[in-house]
Amino acid sequence: MGNTRYEQGLNLVVEMLHGLENHPDFRADTSTLQKIALLAKSVRDTSATEESRVAKTPEIDGTVLQDAPISIATPTRRREPGDRTRLFEELRTKVLACTKCPHLVAFRHSVVFGVGNPHAELMFVGEAPGADEDMQGEPFVGRAGDLLTKIIQTMGYQRSDVFIANVLKCRPDIPPGTPGNRQPTPTEMATCLPYLRQQIDLIQPKIVVALGATAMRGLFGKEEPMKQMRGRWHLFGSIPVMATFHPSYLLRNQALSLKRQVWEDMLQVLERLAHPISERQKNYFLPR
């Protein structure tokens, strides 16, 4: 009886894991279920140890388990390209119709979903659309966007090779006639973050680059100064994230040393992606 119940329990876990494959919170839920599986294994191993110090068929509830130990492998989120494209377009449609923040809906001209390759190995994440992005419906199209494009090209990519998105999909509202932009509030970012999570989950990039302190705050809730976070690897789920300065910061601060710091961050990204780095690339923004 114990043997049957044990097998039924493991089969139920396996079925639940398979059922979560298309769930947006798959990674977190899988972690919980894996802990359940490990706990079951621990109970089985403990039972075997207590029964004998030598190799012996384990028992649970007095019932001998005749089968070999069952292991539950971590499920992979493999999707066919066509399936991923379909899911991505469904997400785009959902985001473009979002009305979760009425004050942003009333202010925006466009919902800025993101742009680039939905199969990209490299993803860049900023904080929120500015005035130019709001008008054109595409992230990083102003002066900061031009600089980001140059960085991407210097790394050996085109904009179309990577994916670019923001934590917030709508431009933060400001009083009429007020110049510039404002930072997203924690509430706004928390409301919009699930969309970014789903984008990352569908794209499955090998690396994410977080552009600026606000992007890091949106992704991780970190309140550290950017000078302390940049140049270090962070983990968003299982995906490595490199924190670096926002391009607009480089436009306000033209020091060669700052440009070199950002470039050193990008060299780390290229190295982790196992991309060849030329001598010319290694020497960009070094004093001569």
pLDDT tens per residue, range 175-195? 988 888 999 999 999 999 999
Quote the CA–CA distance of 269 and 242 in Å, as a whole number: 7
| Contacts of range 40-49, beta carbons closer than 8 Å, 24 or more positions apart | 40/6, 40/9, 40/10, 40/13, 41/69, 41/71, 44/6, 44/69
* Residue 46 or 135, more confident: 135
DSSP string for residues in 2-22? HHHHHHHHHHHHHHHHHHTTT
Per-residue pLDDT of 95-154, as tens digits, reads 999 999 999 999 999 999 999 999 999 999 999 999 999 999 999 998 999 999 999 999
Range in 77-86, 90-99, 110-119, 235-244 with the lowest mean pLDDT: 77-86
- Going by C-alpha positions, the residue among 245, 277, 14, 70 that lies closest to residue 144 is 245
What percent of the chain stands above pLDDT 90?
Answer: 65
Residue 7 has pLDDT above 90, yes or no: no
Q: What is the mean pLDDT of the chain?
A: 80
Domain 81-282 is classified in which CATH homologous superfamily? Uracil-DNA glycosylase-like domain (3.40.470.10)
- Under the banding of pLDDT at 50, 70 and 90, the label for residue 54 is very low
Q: Which residues of the chain does CATH 3.40.470.10 include?
A: 81-282
Is the distance from CB of 189 to CB of 168 less than 8 angstroms? Answer: yes
